[in-house]
Structure 1
Amino acid sequence: MNVEDLRVFVATLDEGSFTAAAEKLGVSKQYASRRTMALEELLGVRLLNRTTRRLQPTELGMLLYERAARILADLQETQELVSDRSPVVRGTLRISAPMTFGTLHISPLLPLFMKQHPHMALELELNDRAVDLLAEGYDMSIRIGTLEDSTLVAKRLTAMQIVICASPHYLATHGTPTTPDDLQQHACLLYGHSRLVEWRFQENGKPVSVPVTGNLRANNGEIIRDAAVGGMGIAYLPTFIIDGALENGSLVPILGAYQPPQAAVYAVYPHHRQSARAVQVFSDFLRQQLSSLNDRQP
């Protein structure tokens, strides 16, 4: 059996369609379908039941999938084991990162990294959702804030400060909250996907969480920042998104006695990628380059 045919077959079941598998592998849909048909012909069995809506593995197809996935994982591990003995770092690294942080802080670093490691290939996808690294095939994700408990490995890259702020116009119109509990009487601009939002603070060295509500929710921090600048409400955002607005006075920090807890930027990856040299090289590079962000914390 051709290893590439096994790779196409596994990707097809992982992604749920020939189209999605082809996109992941960088081939055409016709190629993915044709290679799976060739595999069925070679083995003399049907591996997939095809309908207009979905692909469903047969019993033998599922057996092949389980074995093939192990074979491909062993091949990847063997390749990395041998590559780790080489002074040259090789391989493809698939990374997810938040949109704004990616454009502002990762993008400018990529030319230097690629110059230092010309034999590496990077696939960087920017979005503001928490991707499923295992299900979606990412080697690493950049995540920001206070991490939830997870089975993933997290490497701290740099410190990050959260600031609660609003425009002078909003505060002049609606008043300035003096305690976190006052936020429940204000329009809060909600950043993220969760329907129930709590903002965290420190009061006399102790953590305090306050549930907040508002008429605008977005999964992109720049949208929340612009809404705050426009006087729509109060925002709770990292400094790398609002530095400019704080400097020019279009946003002002509030609740100075109740600072949000110190957070950080992390490289997060599955346990089975922890020893991968490409993952370690890129995360160490980011940690070194991003350390200067600490100098700009308020």
Structure 2
Amino acid sequence: MLKLDGIASFVAVAEGGSISEAARRQRLSKSVVSERLAELERALGATLLRRTTRKLAFTEHGSAFLARARRILREVEDATADVAEGRGELTGPLRISAPVTFGRMHLGPALYPFLQRYPDIALTLDLDDRRVDAAADGYDAVVRHGAIEDSRLVAWKLAASRRHLVASPAYLERCGTPASAADLAGHRCIFYANRGVGDWRFRDRDGVVVLRGRVGLLVNNGDVMRDAALAGVGLAMLPTFIVGEALRTGALIALDLGFEPENEFLYIAHPEGRRPSAKLKAFADCLRAAFGDPPYWEPA
């Protein structure tokens, strides 16, 4: 007979990458986790993991069982949450992925009141700039900025967002101020790696215009992009929630090429086909209230 604690330990090992990390996450000893895995394999009659001195590797049976094991745990968690919600309570795990810079600057402070209001919710916040697969990686939802590229996600808008093409005064003094799209060819540009060099989207009366400059730096983090622009490396396209303070102090200058940067928004998205829980809806409502409309980082 399969035991739920064995399935939970197997998933924890898969997500943690080792028995030691799984034991730390589950607050158990390594021997207990190892015994649960052994018992699960005996119950299934199959080897799920191959253990070496350096790492664990999934067998074919282990890879196939992992997806179902995650679904089993999700169903149990959802059923427990449904019972609690029926009593008017919000409880249980909530796993969210968000980009690093926005998470550090704005998401963290916004969620503290949520955790105080709902002390029985166990929130896991993974800050990662890569585009995670919400369903496959076991997230209840992802917080993202920009266009929605994954059609398997259902998005809720959190806040509007404006972007600015910026450079430092020192860079402009040294290299000149671009005044048109054609001028970009003579300037070094800083691009967000996860969105590529075709990310500079502007709007005019005829629709969307995509501008491209010469790559000077390609990086997957907003903090580094802002700091590189401040250091005079080149031009960067960044949202107000990252560069608002630098624009107010004059440390960065917003450039005008004759086009308005296309407006975007911050959103929270959950996997399609999965009913969003009451605690996820409460989390989204808390973020909207904290950010405001228009959001507090945009100038009046």
TM-score by length of 1: 0.87
Partner of 1:106: 107
Shift of 1:270: 1.1
Does residue 1:50 correspond to 2:61, yes or no? no
CA separation of 1:158 and 1:194: change in aligned 2, threshold 3 A: closer
CA separation of 1:100 and 1:74: change in aligned 2, threshold 3 A: closer
CA separation of 1:175 and 1:92: change in aligned 2, threshold 3 A: same
Shift of 1:85: 1.0
Q: Is the 8 A contact 1:168 1:251 kept in 2?
A: yes
Partner of 1:218: 219
Shift of 1:162: 0.3
CA separation of 1:29 and 1:131: change in aligned 2, threshold 3 A: farther
Partner of 2:191: 190
1:35 is aligned with what amino acid?
A: R
Partners of 1:229 and 1:62 in 2: how far apart? Answer: 46
1:145 is aligned with what amino acid?
A: G
Shift of 1:18: 3.5
Structure 1 residue ranges without an equivalent (≥5): none
Q: How many pairs align?
A: 296
Aligned with 1:244: secondary structure? helix
Q: Deviations over 1:124-145 (max 9, x none)?
A: 1222222222232221211012
Q: Deviations over 1:93-141 (max 9, x none)?
A: 1111122211221222233112211111211122222222223222121
Percent of pairs with identical residues:
36
Q: Is the 8 A contact 1:181 1:210 kept in 2?
A: no
Partner of 1:279: 280
Q: Is the 8 A contact 2:165 2:255 kept in 1?
A: yes
2:47 is aligned with what amino acid?
A: L
Partners of 1:97 and 1:232 in 2: how far apart? Answer: 27
Partners of 2:101 and 2:66 in 1: how far apart? Answer: 38
Aligned with 2:232: secondary structure? coil
Q: Deviations over 1:220-271 (max 9, x none)?
A: 2121112112211111000111111111111111126311111111011112
Q: Is the 8 A contact 1:180 1:255 kept in 2?
A: no
Partners of 1:137 and 1:245 in 2: how far apart? Answer: 37
CA separation of 1:248 and 1:122: change in aligned 2, threshold 3 A: same
Q: CA RMSD in A?
A: 2.6
Partner of 2:260: 259
Shift of 1:84: 2.3
Q: Is the 8 A contact 1:157 1:287 kept in 2?
A: yes
1:55 is aligned with what amino acid?
A: A
TM-score by length of 2: 0.87
Stretches (4+) displaced over 6 A: none
CA separation of 1:28 and 1:179: change in aligned 2, threshold 3 A: farther
2:59 is aligned with what amino acid?
A: P
Shift of 1:292: 4.7
2:48 is aligned with what amino acid?
A: L
Structure 2 residue ranges without an equivalent (≥5): none
1:50 is aligned with what amino acid?
A: R
Partner of 1:124: 125
